[in-house]
Amino acid sequence: MKIQRCSAIADRMKDIHAFHVMDILARARELESRGRAIIHMEIGEPDFSTPAPIIEAGIAALQAGRTHYTPALGLPALRAAVAAYYSEHYGVEIVPERVVITPGSSGALLLALGVLLNPGEGVLMCDPGYPCNRHFVRLLEGRVDAVPVGAATDYQLTAGLLARYWQTETRAVMLASPANPSGTIVPSESLQAIAAATAAHGGHLIMDEIYHGLVYGSRLPTALEYGDDIFVINSFSKFFNMTGWRIGWLIAPEHFLPAIDRLAQNIFLAASTPAQYAALQAFAPETRRILEQRCQAFRERRDYLLPALRALGFDIARQPAGAFYIYANCEKFTTDSQAFARRLLDEAGVALTPGCDFGTHLAATHVRFAYTTSLENLREGVRRLGDFLQAVSAVQKTSNRKTPSSRR
Amino acid sequence: MKIQRCSAIADRMKDIHAFHVMDILARARELESRGRAIIHMEIGEPDFSTPAPIIEAGIAALQAGRTHYTPALGLPALRAAVAAYYSEHYGVEIVPERVVITPGSSGALLLALGVLLNPGEGVLMCDPGYPCNRHFVRLLEGRVDAVPVGAATDYQLTAGLLARYWQTETRAVMLASPANPSGTIVPSESLQAIAAATAAHGGHLIMDEIYHGLVYGSRLPTALEYGDDIFVINSFSKFFNMTGWRIGWLIAPEHFLPAIDRLAQNIFLAASTPAQYAALQAFAPETRRILEQRCQAFRERRDYLLPALRALGFDIARQPAGAFYIYANCEKFTTDSQAFARRLLDEAGVALTPGCDFGTHLAATHVRFAYTTSLENLREGVRRLGDFLQAVSAVQKTSNRKTPSSRR
């Protein structure tokens, strides 16, 4: 019995799942190693490398020997630069002390949940949603209060849903706008109502704004406008194209800062020093020009891909306003999106993310398209997808003719 | 009541403390800003910048646009390089699949404990010891089974102590060799006995070998020699002088790797990409020559500082064999090491770490000296310390003469 216990893995790991997209990616790489050309629409990472001014700042930091630890909450100059960005971009004044530089938004999520959540306390979040959120809650022995959302609410939470799903032990609400996997936003009136309802329940809103720069319409307000007790998660990864550097930030309520400082000291020591020096150039005018061009490229991709997918028969209720994702209802073709994604990859060389990565609600009838590849690749992907669906449909028709009653 | 709950900080944060050395450091910086010259013997970080070949590899990676995510467990080439290092340096063969590249050894600790520890389960660890260890356990709702250790066992665990302190819910043993704060090692026979006892109890050994390169005598064996079910934590921070890059590694038992992969995907995504490419040069012959010179410099510093401290009246039972720390008994001067450290800084401009950062056992009568500064600075520090202790002793003698009975 002792031997068995020795090899036992902690219970939490039963609930902390791999991303299914990693299997898709591994299979895609395998096919590529055999010479197949794969169209990647599964990857949740910009195809662009980090803009040159940021890279140059990173190189300059290394040349200057900036390789020691920074303070746990980050370089004062970077915290000030982020605070200045809020003032300029959003017209919201926050003191630099509220800005915590973290190892990616992953670090920010762990800090926010770490200082908020006791074991057994709940966190309201959308299903479908970013899968790591529920796994962070599980790591801390919290409870995920999943709110099933669909096309009717743009795959987003509403104040009405919040009221319906709030429980006694609910402690926080996690919300993302634009969201992964849907790319949809929370309209500002709704965000304001959710913030007010969360505060009225004595909870905290943890707002994921990591796709904020990637919005293809009017600018979004930051949730910080709607209360001082809100945690805002952001990142240099997506909009600033710094994924591999692992650097993000958290704007935290002042009251929590001493605890966050203690937790950060103990579990990270600090975020990467070269990354922090590099990120100082993320807000430079030259960098912004590059990022705006890239944002425009993402918009063009969305504007191509969305009607093309609809024309193929995918049901996408409303145009996603941001990020680089389209969450498409594929029930016209399948009620097993995971098998569908695997087959599409094997037979047509197109990689997608099946809905099961984002939860259980509607997962079997949805897939996520990421337009993190060139327009040319997207066109080729759509062409292949069209051929594949035609072939599937032809087979289905044949089988329908054979067994007409079984298709009812 | 709701309002109160809203601002409540999670219970775990009552037990997750700041490093007291951060207060010392902040006070030192404040004094420096007023023009005082401070001798820093509090900082647990090499004063050397990263060796040039590693920096150059980091720069080359950035120039090549290596800014995207790597696989969650790390770049295959780096995992292979670490595995090769074990073969060459220790004569231990491990498959590269067992090497997990992490964001610092902090990341490795979180992964190891995350897949091992259920809430309420205990982890045996030395008091004094590296403070983050107990805080990681607390973060995961585990229980710290502290083992008070002193000069009699070189501030290290023994198989005898393990047998005495093991409890029903104990799940793992954390051990460091060389250790922080003492710089002492676990002799290989003792390590072997501890590994065997841990396995016999059905537990796992989590072995911190981050100071392994910094040993000033014969080479240490890795704990991997003593079992396949041992977790070994290591880092590019200390010996390889890459602190600010945030990169380390974990060698895990094969059985735990799928769970570790899932956890890493979810809580880190991956370690820093530029840091991983840079670290590929950590094992290059040119880098090793630089590191060996630096190791020699640390040895010279220890060989100067240890007798100098003993001559001043600090009680240090045995010569510490590695790392860059000396844990000194200061009860000849004080029974409040924290006040002593503060006063030493204010009055003599010498910064130390008080024992309370490392636990509670003997904390009030110990301070940690870090020889992470030049020999010249160490000499000046010792000179100041001597003057300070003489002044203290003179005052004590005067006060003794005034109230002779109160000193019994």
Q: Is residue A4 predicted with pLDDT exceeding 60?
A: no
Residue B115 Cα, gap to closest chain A Cα (Å):
5
Same domain, A79 and A197: yes
Q: By the 8 A CB rule, do B324 and B214 touch?
A: yes
The answer to whether A104 touches B269, Cβ cutoff 8 Å, is yes
Task: Point out the residue among A4, A68, A115 whose CB comes nearest to the CB of B13.
Answer: A115
CA angle centred on B282, ends A57 and B174, rounded to 5°: 105
Average pLDDT over residues B96-111: 98
Assigned token pair, B107: 């990341």
Residues B248 and B254: their CA atoms lie apart, in Å, by 19
Contact in structure between A40 and A28 (CB atoms under 8 Å): yes
Q: Distance between CA atoms of B261 and B115, rounded to whole angstroms?
A: 10
Q: How many CA atoms lie within 13 A of B88 on its CB side?
A: 9
**Cβ–Cβ below 8 Å for A243 and B69:** yes
H or E element that contains B248: strand B248-251
Nearest CA in chain A to B201: A2
pLDDT at position B2, please?
Answer: 36
Chain A residues in contact with B272 (beta carbon < 8 A): 244-246, 272, 275
- Are B242 and B305 found together in one domain? no
Q: Which of A80-89, A391-400, B279-288 has the least mean pLDDT?
A: A391-400
Instruction: Check pLDDT > 80 for residue A404.
Output: no
Lowest pLDDT segment from A238-242, B145-149, B217-221, B280-284: B217-221
| Ramachandran class of B111: left when φ > 0, alpha when ψ lies in -120 to 50, beta otherwise | alpha
Rounded to 5 degrees, φ, ψ at B218 are -75, 150
Q: Are residues A116 and A200 in the same domain?
A: yes
Same domain, A165 and A267: yes
Cβ-proximal residues to A343 (8 Å cutoff; 6+ apart), any chain? none
Point out the least confidently predicted range of A37-51, B3-17, B392-406.
B392-406
* CA A156/CA B179 separation, integer angstroms: 50
The mean pLDDT of B60-74, rounded to a whole number, is 96
Residue linked to tokens 């966190």: A123
Q: Which of B1, B10, B22 is opposite residue A115, by nearest beta carbon?
A: B10
The DSSP secondary-structure symbol of B72 reads T
* Residue of A3, A243, A275 lying closest to B202 (CB–CB): A3
Domain at B340, CATH number: 3.90.1150.10
Tell me the pLDDT band of B327, cut-offs 50, 70 and 90.
very high
Burial letters A308-319, b for 16+ CB under 10 A, else e: bbeebebebeee
Does residue A406 belong to any structural domain of this protein?
A: no
Q: What is the DSSP letter of B178?
A: S
Q: At what angle do helices A337-348 and A20-33 cross, to 10 degrees?
A: 10
Q: Is residue B399 part of a domain?
A: no
- End-to-end, the C-alpha distance of chain B in Å comes to 52
In terms of DSSP bridges, do strands B350-351 and B39-40 run parallel, antiparallel, or are they unpaired? parallel
CB B175 within 8 A of CB B233: no
A13, A204, A273 ranked by CB distance to B115: nearest: A13
Could you tell me which of B247, B254, B239, B253 has the C-alpha nearest to residue B268?
Answer: B247
pLDDT digits over A141-164, tens only?
999 999 999 999 999 999 999 999
> Does residue A268 sit in the same domain as residue A248?
yes
Q: Supply the mean pLDDT for chain A.
A: 94
CB contact under 8 A, B268 and A106: yes
Buried b (16+ CB within 10 A) or exposed e, A46-59: bbbbbbebbbbbbb
Output the pLDDT for position A400. Answer: 65
Same domain assignment for residues B70 and B81: yes
Contact A236, A279 (CB under 8 A): yes
Of A283, A306, A328, the last residue of a domain is A283
Q: Which residues of A touch B13 (CB under 8 A)?
A: 114-115, 259, 262-263
Chain center to CA of B200: 27
| C-alpha dihedral (A7, A8, A14, A16), degrees to nearest 10 | -60
Q: Is residue B219 part of a domain?
A: yes
C-alpha to C-alpha distance for A352 and A238, rounded to whole angstroms: 19
Backbone angles phi, psi at A125, to 5 degrees: -155, 155
Query: Rounded distance, CA B179 to CA B153, Å?
Result: 12
CB contact under 8 Å between A244 and B70, yes or no, is: yes
Domain membership flag for residue B398: no
Q: Are B115 and B259 in contact (CB under 8 A)?
A: yes
Inter-chain CB proximity A266 and B135 less than 8 Å? yes
Query: At how many degrees (to 10) do helices B104-116 and B257-267 cross?
Result: 120
pLDDT of B311-326, one tens digit each? 999 999 889 999 999 9
Q: Are A338 and A356 in contact (CB under 8 A)?
A: yes
Q: Taking the CB of residue A167, how many other CB atoms lie within 10 A of it? A: 12
- CATH number, domain of A222, equals 3.40.640.10
Could you tell me if B53 and B269 are in contact, meaning their C-beta atoms sit under 8 angstroms apart?
Answer: no
Instruction: Give the type of residue at B342.
Output: R
Q: Which of A62, A140, A268 would you mutate first to test chain B, the one with the most B CBs within 10 A?
A: A62
B13, B22, B272 member nearest A272 (Cβ): B272
- Residue A105 placed within a domain: yes
The b-or-e profile of B317-337 (16+ CB within 10 A means b, else e) is eeebbbbbbbbbbbeebbebb
Q: Give helix A285-312 / helix A52-63 axis angle, nearest 10°.
A: 130
CA–CA separation, A135 and A112 (whole Å) = 14
3-state secondary structure chain A: CHHHHHCCCCHHHHCCCCCHHHHHHHHHHHHHHCCCCCEECCCCCCCCCCCHHHHHHHHHHHHCCCCCCCCCCCCHHHHHHHHHHHHHHHCCCCCHHHEEEECHHHHHHHHHHHHHCCCCCEEEEEECCCHHHHHHHHHCCCEEEEEECCHHHCCCCCHHHHHHHCCCCEEEEEEECCCCCCCCCCCHHHHHHHHHHHHHCCCEEEEECCCCCCECCCCCCCHHHHCCCCEEEEECCCCCCCHHHCCEEEECCHHHHHHHHHHHHHHCCCCCHHHHHHHCCCCCHHHHHHHHHHHHHHHHHHHHHHHHHHHHCCECCCCCCECCEEEEECCCCCCCHHHHHHHHHHHHCEECEEHHHHCCCCHHHEEEEECCCCHHHHHHHHHHHHHHHHHHHHHHHHHHHHCHHHHC
Q: Kindly indicate the confidence band of residue B39, based on its pLDDT and cuts at 50, 70 and 90.
A: very high
Average pLDDT over residues B353-370: 97
* pLDDT value, residue A221: 95
pLDDT of residue A51: 98
The percent of residues in chain A predicted with pLDDT above 70, rounded, is 96
Is the confidence at residue B136, as pLDDT, over 50? yes
C-alpha dihedral over B111, B112, B113, B117, to 10 degrees? Answer: 120
Q: Do A243 and B13 touch (CB under 8 A)?
A: no
Give the structural domain span for A120. 52-283
Average pLDDT over every residue of B17-41: 92
CA A114 to chain B, closest CA, distance in angstroms equals 7
pLDDT for residue A376: 98
* Cβ–Cβ below 8 Å for B62 and A59: yes
Give the whole-angstrom CA distance, residue A260 versus residue B230: 32
**Considering only CA atoms, which of A204, A264, A258 is closest in space to residue A228?**
A204
- Would the pLDDT of A373 be above 90? yes
Q: Average pLDDT, whole number, for chain B? A: 94
A238 and A316 housed in the same domain: no
B251 and B356, same domain (yes or no): no
Distances (CA, A) of B249 to A368, B104, B270: 33, 7, 12
CA distance A327 to A41: 12
Interface contact A3-B117, CB threshold 8 A: no
pLDDT of residue B386: 97
Same domain, residue pair A101 and A202: yes
Residues of B in contact with A7 (CB under 8 A): 229, 255
Is there a domain that residue A408 lies in? no
Tell whether A1 is covered by a domain: no
Residue whose structure tokens are 């007798």: B307
Chain A contacts of B22, Cβ < 8 Å? 72, 265
How far apart are the C-alpha atoms of B91 and A158, rounded to whole Å? Answer: 60
Domain end (from B252, B284, B316)? B284
User: pLDDT tens across A302-359, in order?
Assistant: 999 999 999 999 999 889 999 999 999 999 999 999 999 999 999 999 999 999 999 9
Does the residue B406 lie in any domain? no
- pLDDT tens-digit profile of A221-270? 999 999 999 999 999 999 999 999 999 999 999 999 999 999 999 999 99
CA angle B389, B393, B397 (to 5 degrees): 175
Using only the alpha carbons of chain B, give its radius of gyration.
22
- Both tokens of A337, joined, read 């999106």
Same domain for A59 and A147: yes
Q: Are residues B57 and B101 both part of a single domain?
A: yes
Q: What is the count of structural domains for chain B?
A: 2
**Residues B161 and B138 grouped into a single domain:** yes
Q: What is the average per-residue pLDDT within A53-71?
A: 97
Confidence check: pLDDT of B3 > 50: no
